[in-house]
């Protein structure tokens, strides 16, 4: 592969006759397109009250590069202000330009409080929109721009119609918060506050009820939707049917739903395994593998949601007090390469779910997701036979909530390059803050 000015210029079978300023020898290792994670939480912008040890664009993109990721998409709701307005978008983009080591894209929020902001955000360059199916209002009003709100399905329909006008995808966090609130209150009243109570507070129905509603409204509005962090067998069946019906319905899942269950949370992880939605049964886990193989699930994401040890430890006494979420950027590729080595996943399918399909669904496949001529030279060199033990002590993320700590893997990224520049080599970050570029679709270029 010959790279010029950050782009793939030519693909050659042999580089022995090539004259270049620099030659990278992959030796006997595998070269794959750089991974894309369309679902991370950077915790930016940070408020004056944000703890010092909170994740930011610098740490999260260092973690991503260490894990073989060359592009990440940041969600709109964990920063202050959130990316639910044009002003909030500009603040976050300015921070990212200064701090990111790898390329990045930004989501915009779509909710009952900011429908008038949806088109301006699209024209400014957001990669997609995000909404939670919440109908219970929160004390933090900044969430208004990313939840359905009290208007219920009527409000949801109006929001979808606005997003449909942009032709950008709408990522949907599908959980029935009224059911979860009822279940949670019941469990608390019975004094059930251990880890085993958490999955009971958000049963499978809490997901598939909202997946069903989302698909029906997408059919009515023509909106391109993505079911975020799919976790249940029932929801996977609904997505499969929607695809058969010709709807623009896509789904992501996460490594923790493929490799862990609610039993892992009860027996060893405790509050560190508290994820939103929760880890499910072994039946659900196997159903997700089937859905991944038959292409019902389109791509893999991490929902990288870093939290401090202190915020997780609260859950040992009361699981409902612990923070939601786990990190995943540094563990996902080694975990999936291990599945390749074990024969459960084909290497070509791995590249599809971690590179090609995300680029296609989000409309950046002319630039990212593959190594064709003219595309960004984003690539990862992978040692498929390298055995290792994952350890939170050796990670760049500021989170200590690694649910795969001490997990044995076979296969590691040993070099990550973004637009031809080496950002990580042999586990060491060599890239510089500010090198990352903003990525958006071509839909609104030149129209803002």
List pLDDT tens digits, range 223-257: 999 999 999 999 999 999 999 999 999 999 999 99
Least confident of 15-19, 134-138, 154-158: 15-19
Q: Tell me, what's the pLDDT at 307?
A: 87
Distance, in Å, from the CA atom of 265 to the CA atom of 257, rounded to the nearest integer, reads 12
List pLDDT tens digits, range 347-382: 999 999 999 999 999 999 999 999 999 999 999 999
Residue-averaged pLDDT of the chain = 94
Hunting for tokens 């992978």 — which residue is that?
Answer: 382
pTM over 0.85: yes
Asked if the model's pLDDT at residue 446 lies above 50, the reply is no
Which tops the pLDDT comparison, 93 or 444? 93
Asked if the model's pLDDT at residue 172 lies above 60, the reply is yes
Q: Six-digit token pair at 93? A: 């983009």
- Please give, one letter per residue, the 3-state secondary structure of the chain: CEEECCEEEECCCCCCCCCCCCCCCCCCCEEEECEEEEEECCCCCCCCCCCCCCCCHHHHHHHHHHCCEEEEEECCCCCCCCCCCHHHHHHHHHHHHHHCCCEEEEEEECCCCCHHHHHHHHHHCCCEEEEECCCCCCCCHHHHHHECCCCHHHHHHHHHHHHHHHCCCEEEECCCHHHHHHHHHHHHHCCCCCHHHHHHHCCHHHHHHHHHHHHHHHHHHCCCEEECCCCCHHHHHHHHHHHHCCCCEEEEECHHHHHCCHHHHHHHHHHHHCCCCCCCCHHHHHHHHHHHHCCCCCEECCCECCCCHHHHHHHHCCHHHCCCCCCCCCCHHHHHHHHHHCCCCCHHHHHHHHHHHHHHHCCCCCCCCCCCCCCECCEEEEEEEEEEECCHHHCCCCCCCCCCCCCEEEEEEEEEEECCEEEEECCEECCCCCCCCECCCCCCCCCC
* Sheet of strand 170-173, all strands in order from the earlier edge strand to the far edge: 35-40, 69-74, 103-109, 128-132, 170-173, 225-227, 249-253, 299-300
Least confident of 10-19, 177-186, 327-336: 10-19
Q: Tell me, what's the pLDDT at 138?
A: 79
Asked whether the bond before 277 is cis by omega within 30 degrees of 0, the reply is: yes
How far is CA 86 from its chain centroid?
Answer: 22
Q: Is 341 exposed, middle or buried (0-12, 13-18, 19+ CB in 10 A)?
A: middle
Beta bridge partners of 238: none
Which residue, among 235, 231, 233, 227, has the nearest Cα to 251 in the 3D structure? 227
Asked if the model's pLDDT at residue 51 lies above 70, the reply is no
Q: Tell me, what's the pLDDT at 52?
A: 67
Split at pLDDT 50, 70, 90, the class of 8 is very high
Distance, in Å, from the CA atom of 375 to the CA atom of 105, rounded to the nearest integer, reads 17
Distance, in Å, from the CA atom of 380 to the CA atom of 347, rounded to the nearest integer, reads 13
Average pLDDT over residues 307-314: 89
Q: Kindly list the distances between the CA atom of residue 386 and the CA atoms of 67, 227, 411, in Å, as whole numbers in the listed order.
A: 14, 34, 5
pLDDT exceeding 90 applies to what percent of the chain? 85
Q: Six-digit token pair at 167? A: 């032709």
Beta bridge partners of 69: 35
What is the bridge-based pairing of β-strands 69-74 and 30-33? unpaired
List pLDDT tens digits, range 82-108: 999 999 999 999 999 999 999 999 999
Q: Are 69 and 35 in contact (CB under 8 A)?
A: yes
Asked if the model's pLDDT at residue 23 lies above 90, the reply is no
Hunting for tokens 């890239």 — which residue is that?
Answer: 431
Asked if the model's pLDDT at residue 70 lies above 70, the reply is yes
Asked whether the bond before 81 is cis by omega within 30 degrees of 0, the reply is: yes
List pLDDT tens digits, range 315-350: 999 999 999 999 999 999 999 999 999 999 999 999
What is the bridge-based pairing of β-strands 299-300 and 128-132? unpaired
Beta bridge partners of 32: 380
Distance, in Å, from the CA atom of 236 to the CA atom of 333, rounded to the nearest integer, reads 23
Q: Tell me, what's the pLDDT at 444?
A: 65
Which tops the pLDDT comparison, 399 or 440? 440
Least confident of 25-39, 131-145, 178-192, 374-388: 131-145
Which residue, among 321, 307, 327, 299, has the nearest Cα to 229 in the 3D structure? 299
Least confident of 112-116, 157-161, 277-281, 441-445: 441-445
Split at pLDDT 50, 70, 90, the class of 447 is very low
Q: Tell me, what's the pLDDT at 271?
A: 95
Q: Tell me, what's the pLDDT at 442?
A: 75
Average pLDDT over residues 306-322: 92
Q: Tell me, what's the pLDDT at 46?
A: 82
Query: HSE on the CB side for 28, CA within 13 Å?
Result: 3
- Domains belonging to the chain, first-starting first, are 2-429 (3.20.20.140)
């Amino acid at each position: 592969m010959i790279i010029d000015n950050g782009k793939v210029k030519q693909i050659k079978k042999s580089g022995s006759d090539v004259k270049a300023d620099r030659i990278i020898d992959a030796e006997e290792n595998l070269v794959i397109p750089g991974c894309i994670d369309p679902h991370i939480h950077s915790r930016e912008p940070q408020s004056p009250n944000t703890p010092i040890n909170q994740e930011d664009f610098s740490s999260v993109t260092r973690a991503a590069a260490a894990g073989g990721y060359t592009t990440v998409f940041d969600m709109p709701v964990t920063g202050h202000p959130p990316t639910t307005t044009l002003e909030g978008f500009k603040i976050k983009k300015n921070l990212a330009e200064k701090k990111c080591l790898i390329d990045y894209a930004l989501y915009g929020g779509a909710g009952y409080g900011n429908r008038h902001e949806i088109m301006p955000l699209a024209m400014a360059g957001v990669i997609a929109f995000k909404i939670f199916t919440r109908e219970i209002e929160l004390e933090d009003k900044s969430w208004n721009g990313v939840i359905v709100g009290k208007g219920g399905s009527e409000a949801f329909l109006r929001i979808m119609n606005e997003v449909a006008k942009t032709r950008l995808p709408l990522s949907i966090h599908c959980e029935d918060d009224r059911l979860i609130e009822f279940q949670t209150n019941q469990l608390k009243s019975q004094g059930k506050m251990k880890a085993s109570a958490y999955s009971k507070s958000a049963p499978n129905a809490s997901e598939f009820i909202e997946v069903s509603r989302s698909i029906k409204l997408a059919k009515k509005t023509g909106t391109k939707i993505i079911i975020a962090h799919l976790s249940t067998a029932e929801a996977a069946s609904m997505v499969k049917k929607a695809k058969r019906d010709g709807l623009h319905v896509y789904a992501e899942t996460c490594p923790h739903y493929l490799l862990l269950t609610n039993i892992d949370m009860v027996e060893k992880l405790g509050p560190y395994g508290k994820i939103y939605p929760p880890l499910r049964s072994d039946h659900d886990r196997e159903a997700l593998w089937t859905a991944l193989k038959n292409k019902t699930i389109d791509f893999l994401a991490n929902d990288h949601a870093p939290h401090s040890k202190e915020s997780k430890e609260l859950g040992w006494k009361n699981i409902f007090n612990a923070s939601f979420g786990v990190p995943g950027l540094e563990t996902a590729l080694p975990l999936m390469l291990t599945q390749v080595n074990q024969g459960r996943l084909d290497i070509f399918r791995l590249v599809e779910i971690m590179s090609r399909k995300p680029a296609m669904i989000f409309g950046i496949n002319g630039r990212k997701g593959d190594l064709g001529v003219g595309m960004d030279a984003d690539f990862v060199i992978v040692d498929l036979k390298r055995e290792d033990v994952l350890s939170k002590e050796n990670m760049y993320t500021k989170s200590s909530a690694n649910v795969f700590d001490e997990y044995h893997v076979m296969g590691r990224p040993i070099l990550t390059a973004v637009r031809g520049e080496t950002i990580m080599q042999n586990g060491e970050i060599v890239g510089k803050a500010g090198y990352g570029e903003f990525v958006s679709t071509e839909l609104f270029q030149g129209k803002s």
